[in-house]
Structure 1
Amino acid sequence: MTNRLAAVNRTLLALTGLVLLALGAALLGGLWPYSGRGDVLLSAEDRRRWTSEGWWWWVVLPVLGVVVLLALWWFLAQWRRSRLPALLVDTGDGAYAQLRGHALEQAMAAELAAVAGVASAHVTLHGRRTAPTVRVRLLLAPHAVPADALATLAHEALTHARTSTGLPTLPTEARLHATDHHAKRVT
């Protein structure tokens, strides 16, 4: 969801920038048809003509409402965090402790990076504090066996994370990528 939101954000920013650039170029180039002090976009006669049409209010108000709702959605989406800052861990005595999400991410990444054949590991936590999800990106060396890396992820790293946080399940999405390697030249 975050990647889609980032793509929508970039698209809207690009379109807004293009519109503002076109308006600025039109103003600087003298292409704007309203240059006088008393010039307006809609004259009083045009305003009366459009407001007397029966469809005018049924089109303009919903369109403006949709524009306002889209702008509000876009504004609120900017404040949404893509990563989980902290998890709630049951201490067993009825209370909860907070575990920094970044600390768990670093611990899991270090454990996965220590596996033979894993060049680097990147772990991010998403979701809610009581029901987190994990996204793992593993960069595998050319000699790595992907099944071994996944087995280590499933049986060791995730098991350690679940037991340390006290979570019964920890849904995980893993993406494996291979490093670029070139054939050696034979002379």
Structure 2
Amino acid sequence: MLRTVNRVVLGLVGLVLFLVGGAVLAAGLGLDVPSWWPWGTKRDVLVSRSRRVHWHDQDWWWPVVIAVLALLVLLALWWLLAQLRRARLAEILVDSGDGEGALLRGRALESVLESEAETLDGVARAKVVLAGRRTAPAARVALLLEPHARPAVALVRLDEESLAHARTSAGLTELPAEVRLRAVKHRARRVS
């Protein structure tokens, strides 16, 4: 959901900036622009002289303007880098013991962890996402527990069985995990 909202907002901001920039460029080149557009000719300016010098005598004005613009640029760069960051780990580097390494697909290990976690008593469904670096992965696990499940027992078994098997098979010294537990919600049914 957040990813979709993020892409829609980015698309709308990009479209608005593209249209405004194109209209300003068209007016600057002397092309026809709509009559309602505030800058219709080459001689129109974006900021009038009176507006430019209005705050000119204030010592704080230009540092504040520069700081706000710099903050906006930094936020835009942070947002761009957040879009490029992967939410999932694509592959894990497994030490094969001979000085070479082997690559294990992240989705394969996620799938195995999910299916093994779902076999645990009291776990209705499991969702696993691997994050981090390929030499030091970390797991985010979401467990949907049945009503009869005991959360402490489910956590211990997940750590001692599923995560231990994953660490052993991938040759990892550690596989930190963040586990989120939720209970199954059953809908009330009418009994006749």
Task: Give TM-score scaled by structure 1 length.
Answer: 0.75
Alpha-carbon distance between aligned partners in 2 of 1:182 and 1:59, rounded to the nearest angstrom: 56
Alpha-carbon distance between aligned partners in 1 of 2:84 and 2:145, rounded to the nearest angstrom: 34
**2:39–2:45 CA contact under 8 A, matched in 1:** no
Aligned length: 171
Query: Would the alpha carbon gap of residues 177 and 46 (structure 1) be closer, same or farther in structure 2, given more than 3 Å must change?
Result: closer
**1:50–1:56 CA contact under 8 A, matched in 2:** no
**2:128–2:140 CA contact under 8 A, matched in 1:** yes
Residue by residue over 1:70-122, the C-alpha shift from the partner in whole angstroms, topping out at 9 and shown as x without a partner, is: 11111111111111111111000111111111100000101111223211111
1:73 is aligned to 78
2:186 is aligned to 181
Q: Which amino acid aligns with 1:102?
A: R
Runs (4 or more) in structure 1 with deviation over 3 Å come to 34-41, 182-187
Q: Given the alignment of the two structures, is residue 130 of structure 1 paired with residue 117 of structure 2, yes or no?
A: no
1:152 is aligned to 157
**2:113–2:162 CA contact under 8 A, matched in 1:** yes
Secondary structure of 2:141's counterpart equals strand
RMSD: 3.3
The percentage of counterpart residues that share the same residue type is 51
Q: Which amino acid aligns with 1:118?
A: V
Q: Given the alignment of the two structures, is residue 13 of structure 1 paired with residue 4 of structure 2, yes or no?
A: no
**1:105–1:123 CA contact under 8 A, matched in 2:** yes
Q: Given the alignment of the two structures, is residue 93 of structure 1 paired with residue 98 of structure 2, yes or no?
A: yes
Q: Which runs of 5+ in 1 are unaligned?
A: none
Q: Given the alignment of the two structures, is residue 57 of structure 1 paired with residue 62 of structure 2, yes or no?
A: yes
Alpha-carbon distance between aligned partners in 2 of 1:13 and 1:128, rounded to the nearest angstrom: 29
Secondary structure of 1:167's counterpart equals coil
Cα displacement (A) at 1:56: 3.5
2:107 is aligned to 102
Cα displacement (A) at 1:61: 1.9
Q: Which amino acid aligns with 1:63?
A: V
Secondary structure of 1:76's counterpart equals helix
**2:39–2:46 CA contact under 8 A, matched in 1:** no
Alpha-carbon distance between aligned partners in 2 of 1:170 and 1:146, rounded to the nearest angstrom: 20
Alpha-carbon distance between aligned partners in 1 of 2:149 and 2:55, rounded to the nearest angstrom: 71
Alpha-carbon distance between aligned partners in 1 of 2:82 and 2:56, rounded to the nearest angstrom: 38
Alpha-carbon distance between aligned partners in 2 of 1:42 and 1:181, rounded to the nearest angstrom: 62
2:49 is aligned to 44
Alpha-carbon distance between aligned partners in 2 of 1:186 and 1:63, rounded to the nearest angstrom: 63
Secondary structure of 2:129's counterpart equals strand
Secondary structure of 1:169's counterpart equals coil
Cα displacement (A) at 1:69: 1.3
**2:91–2:103 CA contact under 8 A, matched in 1:** yes
Q: Which runs of 5+ in 2 are unaligned?
A: 21-33
Secondary structure of 1:84's counterpart equals coil
